[in-house]
Amino acid sequence: MTNIAIIGGSGFDNFTALTDVREHRQVTRFGQPSGFILSGTYAGREIFFLARHGSGHTIPPHKINYRANIAALRELGATEIIAVTAVGGIAASTPPRRIVIPNQIVDYTYGREHTFSDGLDSVVQHIDFTYPFSEPLRDEIIRAAAQISLPIEPTGVYGATQGPRLETAAEISRMAKDGCTIVGMTGMPEASLAREAGLNYVNCSLVVNWAAGVVDGTIEFAAIEQHLKLGMASVQQLIKAWLERHRDPDPKI
């Protein structure tokens, strides 16, 4: 049986579609997750929800306990994760308000606890990460978007930066040369930890600004807020459409 978890990012700190909601306070070997994990019912199945930055959006990207978040979701029985993130757009195909389902990652983060292989148990685990996201889940989400006529960008290269500051124009120019089409602060190490944990993981990114230097001028935070508010409503619609259509490949009933 598959169990789906949503990790919500900036502008997505609740999934109000859930009914019969319960709170789980998990503590893992890696410490506490960002907050309590909700479970509830949608479209006849149990869904988990975790707000990545905490319920009051108080945890900055470099302080998130990514290991505890992934470990706690796995301990609760999650097998598939859809991770929602807000990003800056670098490529012409990723303007503000566009939803992107990236297929690749370049990791520029540093100093984060990025692996479960911490030397405290005996196993050093090497994972294949050629394709960092679950391709079957990406396909399903792209299909769900088409079914509700929601325009999305079906591929993208997520450049993960350290934050919490935004980038300089020169950094974004370098990232564009590296092939990045979007830039965010929380895509890593979340994606590789999910792979280490054996979970199927997909990212759904909402572009909320042009990245630094892509267009003239500086970045306006008021505009970001507006894009977050309107764009995350579309992300919620997309996730609902996907959940309604998601077929359990291995039902236990």
Q: Which of 136, 187, 130, 135 is nearest to 158 (CA)?
A: 187
Q: What is the DSSP string of 161-210?
A: ---SS---HHHHHHHHHHT-SEEESSSTTHHHHHHHTT-EEEEEEEEEEE
- The first and second tokens of residue 178, run together, are 């590296």
Q: Which residue is nearest to ligand HPA (CB)?
A: 88
Q: Which is nearer to ligand HPA, 78 or 206 (CB)?
A: 206
Distance CA 182, CA 131 (A): 17
Examine residue 180 and tell whether it contacts ligand HPA (CB under 6 A).
no
Residues 231-251 as b or e (16 or more Cβ within 10 Å = b) = bbebbbbbbbbbbeebeeeee
State which of positions 51-110 bind ligand HPA (CB under 6 A).
Answer: 86-88
- Report the residue from 37, 38, 185, 199 that binds ligand HPA according to the rule CB under 6 A: 185
33/88 with CB nearer ligand HPA: 88
Rule CB under 6 A: which of 192-221 touch ligand HPA? 208-209, 211
Least CB distance to ligand HPA at residue 206 (A)? 9
Chain centre distance of CA 166: 18
Asked if residue 235 binds ligand HPA (CB under 6 A), the reply is no
Q: Which of 184, 187, 213, 231 binds ligand HPA (CB under 6 A)?
A: 184
In the complex with ligand HPA, the residue whose CB is nearer, 46 or 107, is 107
Q: Omega of the bond prior to 61 within 30 degrees of 0, cis?
A: no
**Residue 211 CB, nearest distance to ligand HPA (Å)?**
5
Q: Which residues bind ligand HPA (CB under 6 A)?
A: 86-88, 161, 166-167, 183-185, 208-209, 211
